[in-house]
């Protein structure tokens, strides 16, 4: 069974940084594109970023380009999201998910990021 556990969320001031992690088990991590998705309080889902199996290709939603960086460590079965220059509008629950046939195959419970002074 695919399992994903996100961590690293918390309260941070505007302009600050956080690094989210996603530990996975139950599937061959290195075989999948991986994705971060977020959901602001009471709002819909937003695709944030995706990374290819070997890390050679990364894509981002325009609103985070230049501020967020997605990475992975296949040896540790882990996905990361480095978030810099955080804004209030980045406040959300962040989920990681593997992409399989262009769909999000499984989800963790998410980690909450709150950007506030």
If the CB atoms of residues 15 and 87 are measured against other proteins, the closer one turns out to be 87
C-alpha dihedral (77, 115, 64, 36), degrees to nearest 10: 30
C-alpha 37 chain-centroid distance: 6
- The minimum distance between CB 18 and other proteins, in angstroms, equals 20
First to last CA, the chain: 40
53 binds other proteins (CB under 8 A): no
If the CB atoms of residues 75 and 103 are measured against other proteins, the closer one turns out to be 103
* Residue whose pair of structure tokens reads 């296949």 in the numeric block: 74
If the CB atoms of residues 45 and 88 are measured against other proteins, the closer one turns out to be 45
Q: Enumerate binding residues for other proteins (CB under 8 A).
A: 35, 37, 44-47, 50, 59-62, 95, 100-110
């Amino acid at each position: 069974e695919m399992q994903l556990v996100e961590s690293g969320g918390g309260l941070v001031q505007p302009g600050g940084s956080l690094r989210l992690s996603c530990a996975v088990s139950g599937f061959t991590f290195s075989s999948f594109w991986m994705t971060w998705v977020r959901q602001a309080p009471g709002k819909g889902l937003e695709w944030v970023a995706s990374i290819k199996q070997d890390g050679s290709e990364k894509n981002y939603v325009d609103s985070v380009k230049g501020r967020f960086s997605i990475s992975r460590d296949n040896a540790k079965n882990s996905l990361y999201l480095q978030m810099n220059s955080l804004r209030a509008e980045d406040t959300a629950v962040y989920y990681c998910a593997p992409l399989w046939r262009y769909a999000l195959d499984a989800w963790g419970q998410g980690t909450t990021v709150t950007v506030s002074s």
